[in-house]
A and B are shown apart, each in its own frame.
Chain A
């Protein structure tokens, strides 16, 4: 049997037991910091992902009429756009009137008026309030209606298949009503109308295209006043914008805002570093005070060990090893709990779909913080104890034993 191993093993167990409240405090503190950092990190990741891949920032808006250019946007134009490197897709934009055909389906007895059928552009279309609408928008045969209009609420139409009516061209200057059945899959927030207007009814590209074709004279080429070109990431928007411009179209994008957003991300990233800094200070404060006071109480033990032949150096080594292992156990406990909290906590937060805290689920903890906890706690416990260990190691065993 090795006496040093036995002593250290027993001491680690005893220390963890005697310092349980402080150990628990440290574990919880570390776990909280690791978790908080993960939430911030997951938030940054989510924001960043949404903004750079699924927002107005990674769209180039093409206009058929603009300063210094006037060129029709056709299906052929859309195909040309899609051949540009880093372009993920393109949609023609146009609107036409669509009305609820059957008064029985009106929310009230008052005529709700006409909607304007509009293509769904992911990242540009307003926020969905009710219903399940995929990121790609309504499918064929589906429609997304505004929340309110003409003093009426359209939420009661959610989930129902409604007949809409539009004007089908049958000759020059002549048209007749034509019906299209669409299921209402969502209600969007139209309280702050964008360029699509307050009464836009979002439909799929193919519904828009087929209905638009029917509202034109046979043989007449389908043109769009605007088109949206979706770019892989916001970083490539400028190059795509230039390429579209070179094709002779007037272009516009909100990618210029990226610089100011980069600053926002930097600020959020700084919050992550601040959390790391606070964690180090927390470990420093608690570690030094706990390590110091714990060893200070053990003068009697030092005297006894010296009496049975242990040298000051051996005792000091045993105490440092003991505190190192205790610190490692506390650090590992905190890191493990923090990691589990990060993984499951971000998943819970993500499932709540909080407006102010959109986080990516299953977020792994910041490994730097985990390593920091594993290193800092043992290091600061030992640092705090160092002075007392040196003093006790130098002290006559007789003096230590007199502290009995």
Chain B
């Protein structure tokens, strides 16, 4: 299996109004292979989201390197990072992060490459059981529907890497099951999946479990 995502000795700190700089990550390393689901486990505030944001090229590490599909993006220009996110990375956030005034279909369209037809978009939404609400504004959807739209958006471009930050947060068992199914399907399609969550339910789908306390010694 090829490695689709690799973090090497990544450090990240943020400016803190009270304490100067606050170090969130120090010497973090991990890797995700194609078709693999890796569960990044840790409590709230342990830095899971920061790891995902760096892996998704949304944030630049202070030190260390980030490799996606075998290419180092640690110091990539914002434009290159944006292009890579669009083509190789899919992201699902804790809160679904849809644009509330846009419909489910339009939210998926926003992440698409090229000019997909309406039929293509509907086909993708159908995979997540969302055809009936395709033209409904995101703000009118239930939490579970919103999260499914977010998944649909994340995988529409068939990314190499799928990053999911607490994807089952606030979902009922039925929707949680749908999210797990989506993760399995993505991995089965060859996508490397990194899930950050404290929810034990990911034991069911993860090929590997990676506690935040151990990412410091994970050998990339």
Contact = CB atoms under 8 A, between A and B. Distances in A.
Interface of A: 1-3, 6-7, 10, 14, 301, 303-314, 394, 396-399, 401, 404
Contact of A311 (B83, B113, B153): B83
Instruction: With a 10 A CB-CB cut-off, give which of A1, A304, A305, A313 has the most chain B CB atoms.
Output: A1
Contacts of B78: 311-312, 394
B95 A404 contact: yes
27 contacts: A1-B116, A1-B118, A1-B121, A3-B112, A6-B109, A6-B110, A7-B106, A305-B110, A306-B85, A307-B58, A308-B85, A308-B91, A308-B110, A308-B111, A308-B153, A309-B89, A309-B111, A309-B113, A310-B86, A310-B110, A311-B82, A312-B82, A313-B79, A396-B58, A396-B59, A397-B59, A398-B59
Interface in B61-104: 78-79, 82-83, 85-87, 89, 91, 93, 95, 97, 99, 101-102
Given A1-B117, A305-B110, A396 B60 contact: yes
Contacts of A314: 82
Nearest to A11: B101
Nearest to A4: B110
Contacts of B82: 306, 309-312, 314
Contact of B58 (A7, A10, A398): A398
A26 B102 CA distance: 27
B115 interface: yes
Kindly state the interface size class of chain B when it binds its partner: 20 to 34
Interface of A is mostly: helix
Contacts of B53: 397-398, 401
A301 B93 CA distance: 14
Contacts of B106: 6-7, 10
Contacts of A401: 53, 58, 93, 97
B167 to A, nearest CB: 14
Contacts of A3: 109-110, 112, 115
Most chain-B CB neighbours within 10 Å: which of A7, A10, A309, A404?
A309
Given A306-B58, A396-B58, A404-B95, 16 more contacts: A3-B112, A3-B115, A10-B101, A301-B99, A308-B85, A308-B86, A309-B87, A309-B111, A310-B82, A310-B86, A312-B78, A312-B82, A396-B59, A398-B53, A398-B58, A401-B53
Contacts of A308: 85-86, 91, 110-111, 153
B152 to A, nearest CB: 12
Nearest to B84: A309
- Select the residue from A2, A308, A312 with max chain B CB neighbours within 10 A: A308
A309 B91 CA distance: 10
A14 B116 CA distance: 24
A133 B103 CA distance: 68
Contacts of B144: none
A10 B101 CA distance: 8
Contacts of A6: 102, 106, 109-110
Nearest to A307: B91
A6 B101 CA distance: 12
Contacts of B35: none
Nearest to A301: B99
